[in-house]
């Protein structure tokens, strides 16, 4: 009897944690996507001009999605939504239930270095049925940091 009860409790706890595990996995992939989209802008700058690898990559707080691939000023009230037809997270269309994801991209210079800049992608989210519930519930945070270099620049 105790063995069956223990197994039952394990199953219940596993099912209760599934949305949180799933949301963390999605947030991790969205953070990596953010880094890759910034890297794509940097690489496009290499193809157009070796002299300005930070074109359109000024220090600041931004948001970006796979649909328009351009950095826009970060909007605290804008959530990434899941477009079930296209199977991707975007700002323009889709549904943000049951997860409410925000992706802030922070670009910053590295002190004393001109051929490198820091990219922080900060994901925040909650797991709820509506936006109002998210305001009163714990929010999860994930911060991914990367450094992007100007490979054509002089070494520092």
What pLDDT score does 120 carry?
Answer: 98
Q: Classify residue 22: in a domain, yes or no.
A: yes
Q: Which residues contact 58 (CB under 8 A, 6 or more apart)?
A: 107
Domain count across the chain: 1
Q: Assess whether pLDDT exceeds 90 at residue 48.
A: no
> What is the spatial distance between Cα 43 and Cα 124, in angstroms, rounded to a whole number?
27
Least confident range from 23-27, 111-115, 123-127, 151-155: namely 151-155
| pTM listed for this prediction | 0.84
What pLDDT score does 135 carry?
Answer: 67
Q: Classify residue 8: in a domain, yes or no.
A: no
Q: How many CB atoms lie within 10 A of CB 32?
A: 13
Q: Classify residue 3: in a domain, yes or no.
A: no
Rounded alpha-carbon distances, angstroms, from residue 126 to 83, 131, 137, 142: 18, 9, 7, 12
Q: Classify residue 10: in a domain, yes or no.
A: no
Q: Which domain holds residue 122?
A: 18-149
Q: Classify residue 59: in a domain, yes or no.
A: yes
Confirm if 38 and 64 have CB atoms less than 8 A apart: yes
What pLDDT score does 152 carry?
Answer: 75
Q: Classify residue 131: in a domain, yes or no.
A: yes
3-7, 15-19, 29-33 — most confident range: 29-33
Q: Classify residue 94: in a domain, yes or no.
A: yes
Helix (H) or strand (E) run with residue 4 in it: helix 2-48
What pLDDT score does 84 carry?
Answer: 86
For 78-99, the pLDDT digits (tens) are 889 988 888 899 998 887 666 7
Q: Classify residue 46: in a domain, yes or no.
A: yes
Q: What is the mean pLDDT of residues 66-76?
A: 93
For 114-133, the pLDDT digits (tens) are 899 999 999 999 876 666 66
């Amino acid at each position: 009897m105790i063995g069956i009860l223990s197994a039952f409790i394990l199953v219940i706890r596993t099912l209760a944690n599934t949305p949180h595990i799933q949301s963390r996995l999605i947030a991790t992939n969205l953070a990596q996507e953010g880094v890759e989209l910034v890297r794509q802008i940097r690489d496009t700058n290499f193809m157009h001009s070796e002299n300005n690898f930070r074109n359109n990559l000024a220090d600041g707080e931004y948001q970006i999605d796979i649909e328009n691939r351009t950095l826009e000023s970060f909007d605290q009230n804008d959530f990434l939504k899941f477009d079930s037809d296209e199977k991707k997270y975007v700002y323009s269309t889709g549904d943000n239930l049951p997860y409410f994801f925000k992706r802030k991209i922070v670009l910053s210079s590295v002190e004393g270095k001109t051929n490198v800049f820091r990219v922080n992608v900060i994901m925040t989210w909650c797991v709820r049925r509506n936006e109002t519930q998210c305001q009163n519930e714990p929010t999860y945070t994930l911060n991914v940091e990367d450094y992007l270099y100007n490979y054509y620049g002089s070494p520092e």
